[in-house]
Amino acid sequence: MNPFLLSCQSGNTRNTWPNKKLYLFNMSSHEQTDSLLKIRDLSVSFTTDEGDVQALDAVEFEVKHGQTLGLVGESGCGKSVTALSVMRLLPQPIGKINGGSIYFGGMDLLKLNPDQIRQIRGNEIGMIFQEPMNALNPVRTIGDQVSESFLLHQDISPREAWEKSIHMLEDVGIPCPENRVFEYPHQLSGGMRQRIVIAIALACKPKLIIADEPTTALDVTVQSQILDLLESLKEKLGSSVLLITHDLGVIAETCDEVCVMYAGRVVERAPTKELFANPVHAYTRGLLASIPRLDGVSKTELSTIDGMVPGLPELNVGCRFAPRSGAEHSEELLLQRPPYHEFTPGHWVEACPVCTTL
Amino acid sequence: MHNIMTGMDKLLEIEDLRVHFPVRGGVFRRAVGACKAVDGVTLSLEKGQTLGLVGESGCGKSTLAKAVVKLIQPTSGSIKFKKKMVSGGVDEINFRKSVQMVFQDPAESLNSRMTVGSIIGEPLDVHKIGDKSERLNRVEELLEQVGLSKSTVKRYPFEFSGGQRQRIGIARALALNPELLVLDEPVSALDVSVQSQVLNLLMGLQAELQLTYLLIAHDLAVVKHVSDVIAVMYLGKIVEFGPAEELYLNPIHAYTKALISAIPIPDPTVKRKKVVIPGEVPSPINPPAGCAFGSRINAVKYPESVGQDLSFKEVCNGHWVLNCPCCVEE
């Protein structure tokens, strides 16, 4: 039995699946797992003046039911592109998905037509964007913007949607929501705006929440509030979260599993505790060592990763961390992609023999 | 907080500094109020030290930095550099040579139409130092000092990554052999691996050139790593001040405690104790009458602080805290 179909039939009376056609779609007996989102072999490229550049190269990971998966990596490593691919929101016409599949509850999102994907987007999968100011429309009221998601995905009247918006704002911890609905984004602080963005993303009680750097633009004290809020809403709705961040501290506190990305590839994937305790790939180790720690010794030299993230056009086929690893890679390793190796159960590493020597 | 200023080797002394911006309203745009961005800050910096200034956005950190480098005229209070007030004339020219600033966003603080050579050489042009070939030599020397190759002189900022651009910004600030560098969030726009490279560079330069740093950042872990003393700022006021290690191990003010507890620890086996601060930072246009942080966290004791002139209390050697009844436990 398809787990997705099950979850649609049982419970969840709020939401009658709007597009009946979807049931008929892709009922191939896909292997039954406990994963809500399963990305297989996803490759994405962008057309630029200098030709096609590959932004994602065979990315694979899965988000399990009720769990939080963290995607971590430096800017330009493909974290956001992964999120946008899941939402099918890659910039058009330059962004191309070249291959792979994104299974969401057993249905391949890449095979849906635009109408079908619109039913999923914002309804089954909610996305929280990084810059709350840019994610909100400056000329429409908060109430308008929150009720939009209800009106699009549920068969209710504008008045009901408005009422629901007020409840939603209350859920995300906004004081006196019945007044706030009439306000505009510029009248709120950064933390409050991010709460609005969260309210919009979670309005339809999505099964999967994609949070793309939800706290990067915020202060630490506000970040702490927002992460707590996200955690409690996730528990309440029973959703899964795909959290994108570059802050390993945030990862350590909120995620069950982590994927470390580098230059368009997942170089290491493991349960959080395992990854922090036994990082295997040289990049992961470098990343963990380079953060200044509060309990560390002050004024000492921080360990660094030499060089910088390579530009997308100059990527090689083999081990992509080779130029920064500081260790000699043989010709062969630069020309052939390292295979994945399961280091301990659930702990996968892109096993370049040079970068993974302990 | 006067006693802490009596030390001998003070490079910079800030006393009771206030920067108020007028809030204009009405038909004639008259000043109808004041935004108290910096409201009575007293700080001092010894030669060779790094003072870290932390606080949330909007607390007045950057305004304080701009006032220190005289980009903003303070409303009242004094800034003494090497025990002298800086006011016009030769004094001011020398002051501007010895105090330089590194800005937050390396992409926006470099002119995209100027070459790296002319960006770094501009301070030399402005102060008419050396002739053309001497300036070029100095620029090349600076580039090597910050870890870039000489050959980059003719290139443009867009050809560099964020970390390299920040190095160019640092080279420009070093051009005039300054004594004090004001670093306004120098690494917050950078990735972690690059951030540590730039922090190492800054620490190395400080040891090499005996520089004094005023480091502004919101990341307490970064500040603690490179600073000797830390000042915590909240809504235009310093609430706690002390040696970095001491302040981290023994925070007294409720705001400092909350700030430290809010930092996520990159270790999944540690569960930090979270102190949740209710509400938000009040507006500096109409700040609460009493202790600004007390109004947020301690409604019971807050009335005690209204109308009181809050003073600093020394907890132990060099560790000062704003003695407010609602934020400091006896």
Most confident of A22-36, B24-38, B273-287: B24-38
Choose the closest CB to B267 out of A247, A276, A303. Answer: A276
Choose the closest CB to B193 out of A224, A251, A290. Answer: A290
Angle ∠(B82,B85,B87) on CA atoms, nearest 5: 125
| A 303-332 residues with CB < 8 A to B | 303-305, 308-309
CB distance B264–A301 less than 8 Å? no
> A3-7, long-range: CB within 8 Å, 24+ apart, which pairs?
A3/A32, A3/A33, A3/A34, A3/A105, A3/A106, A4/A104, A4/A105, A4/A106, A4/A107, A5/A106, A7/A105, A7/A207
pLDDT of residue B263: 87
Q: What is the pLDDT of residues B92-106, one digit of tens each?
A: 889 999 999 998 888
Nearest CA-CA distance, residue B253 and chain A, Å: 15
How many Å apart are CA B260 and CA A293, to the nearest integer? 12
pLDDT of residue B277: 80
Q: What is the pLDDT of residues B234-250, one digit of tens each?
A: 999 999 999 999 999 99
Longest dimension (CA), chain B: 68
| A 266-295 residues with CB < 8 A to B | 272-273, 276-277, 286-288, 290-294
Choose the closest CB to B226 out of A277, A288, A299. Answer: A299
CB distance A252–B260 less than 8 Å? no
> Which among B119, B116, B107, B118 is positioned nearest to B155, based on CA atoms?
B116
- Sheet hosting strand B212-216, strand order edge to edge: B99-102, B180-184, B212-216, B50-54, B229-234, B237-243, B319-322, B312-316
Q: What is the pLDDT of residues A209-220, one digit of tens each?
A: 999 999 887 888
How many Å apart are CA B9 and CA B42, to the nearest integer? 16
Cα distances (Å, whole numbers) of residue A296 to A226, A290, A299, B16, B224? 27, 12, 9, 34, 9
Interface A-B, measured as beta-carbon pairs within 8 A, has a size of 126
Q: Which residue of B has its CA nearest to A256?
A: B268
User: Coil, helix or strand for B161?
Assistant: coil
How many Å apart are CA B232 and CA A126, to the nearest integer? 38
On chain A, the residues whose CB falls within 8 A of the CB of B200 are 301-302, 304
How many Å apart are CA B278 and CA B269, to the nearest integer? 27
pLDDT higher at A335 or A4: A335
CB distance A301–B200 less than 8 Å? yes
Q: Which residue has the tokens 């994937």?
A: A269
- pTM (2 decimals)? 0.86
With helix as H, strand as E and coil as C, how does A120-185 read?
HECCCEEEECCCHHHHCCCCCCHHHHHHHHHHHHCCCCHHHHHHHHHHHHHHCCCCCHHHHCCCCH
CB distance A225–B200 less than 8 Å? no
pLDDT of residue B7: 52
Instruction: Compute and round to an integer the Cα radius of gyration of chain B.
Output: 21
CB distance A219–B57 less than 8 Å? yes
CB distance B264–A221 less than 8 Å? no
Nearest CA-CA distance, residue B263 and chain A, Å: 6
pLDDT higher at B307 or B204: B204
Angle ∠(B281,B282,B284) on CA atoms, nearest 5: 115
Nearest CA-CA distance, residue B56 and chain A, Å: 6
On chain A, the residues whose CB falls within 8 A of the CB of B260 are 294
Residues 6+ apart with CB under 8 A from B212: B11, B12, B45, B46, B47, B48, B49, B50, B179, B180, B181
Count, residues in chain A = 358
pLDDT of residue A275: 95
Q: Which residue of A has its CA nearest to B282?
A: A189
What is the bridge-based pairing of β-strands A125-128 and A107-108?
A: unpaired
Q: Are A199 and A172 in contact (CB under 8 A)?
A: yes
pLDDT of residue B127: 92
> Which among B323, B320, B287 is positioned nearest to B304, based on CA atoms?
B323
A142–B contact, CB cutoff 8 A: no
Q: Which residues pair with A89 in a beta bridge?
A: none
User: Coil, helix or strand for A42?
Assistant: strand
pLDDT mean over B155-178? 93
* Mutation choice for B interface testing from A130, A299, A301, A314 by most B CBs within 10 A: A299
Nearest CA-CA distance, residue B5 and chain A, Å: 24
On chain A, the residues whose CB falls within 8 A of the CB of B165 are none
Q: Which residue of B has its CA nearest to A289?
A: B193
Beta-strand ranges (E) seen in chain B are 10-25, 30-46, 50-54, 76-81, 84-85, 99-102, 180-184, 212-216, 229-234, 237-243, 312-316, 319-322
Q: Which residues pair with A44 in a beta bridge?
A: A56, A97
pLDDT of residue A162: 96
On chain B, the residues whose CB falls within 8 A of the CB of A276 are 266-269
On chain A, the residues whose CB falls within 8 A of the CB of B161 are 308-309
Q: Which residue of B has its CA nearest to A219?
A: B56
CA A12 to chain centre: 24
> Residue B276: pLDDT above 70?
yes
Q: What share of chain B is helix, strand, coil (3-state, %, to 5)?
A: 35, 25, 40
Q: What is the pLDDT of residues B108-123, one digit of tens each?
A: 899 999 999 999 999 9
The pLDDT-based confidence of A12 (bands split at 50, 70, 90) is very low
Q: Are B34 and B22 in contact (CB under 8 A)?
A: yes
What is the bridge-based pairing of β-strands B76-81 and B50-54?
A: unpaired
Residues 6+ apart with CB under 8 A from B213: B49, B50, B51, B180, B181, B182, B183, B202, B206, B226, B227
pLDDT mean over A114-132? 91
Residues 6+ apart with CB under 8 A from A307: A323, A324
The pLDDT-based confidence of A340 (bands split at 50, 70, 90) is very high
CB distance B224–A299 less than 8 Å? no
Nearest CA-CA distance, residue B196 and chain A, Å: 6
Q: Are B59 and B50 in contact (CB under 8 A)?
A: no
Choose the closest CB to B276 out of A225, A286, A293. Answer: A225
pLDDT of residue A159: 95
Average pLDDT, chain B: 88
Q: Which residue of B has its CA nearest to A224?
A: B262
Nearest CA-CA distance, residue A248 and chain B, Å: 6
CB distance B161–A223 less than 8 Å? no
Cβ-based neighbour number of residue B260 at 10 Å: 21
pLDDT higher at A22 or A116: A116
CB distance A190–B161 less than 8 Å? no
Q: Are B196 and B175 in contact (CB under 8 A)?
A: no
Choose the closest CB to A292 out of B225, B258, B261. Answer: B225
CB distance A246–B191 less than 8 Å? yes
User: Coil, helix or strand for B19?
Assistant: strand
Q: Which residue of B has its CA nearest to A287?
A: B193
Q: Which two tokens stand for residue B284?
A: 């500096």
Nearest CA-CA distance, residue B180 and chain A, Å: 18
Residue B243 phi/psi, 5-degree rounding, is: -60, 140
How many Å apart are CA B143 and CA B319, to the nearest integer? 39
CA B185 to chain centre: 8
Q: Which residues pair with B243 in a beta bridge?
A: B229
Nearest CA-CA distance, residue A55 and chain B, Å: 18
On chain A, the residues whose CB falls within 8 A of the CB of B265 are 249, 252-253, 293-294
CB distance B245–A298 less than 8 Å? yes
What is the bridge-based pairing of β-strands B312-316 and B237-243?
A: unpaired
* Mutation choice for A interface testing from B56, B196, B253, B259 by most A CBs within 10 A: B196
Average pLDDT, chain A: 86
Most confident of A129-138, B68-77, B287-296: B68-77
CA B118 to chain centre: 27
How many Å apart are CA B228 and CA A299, to the nearest integer? 8
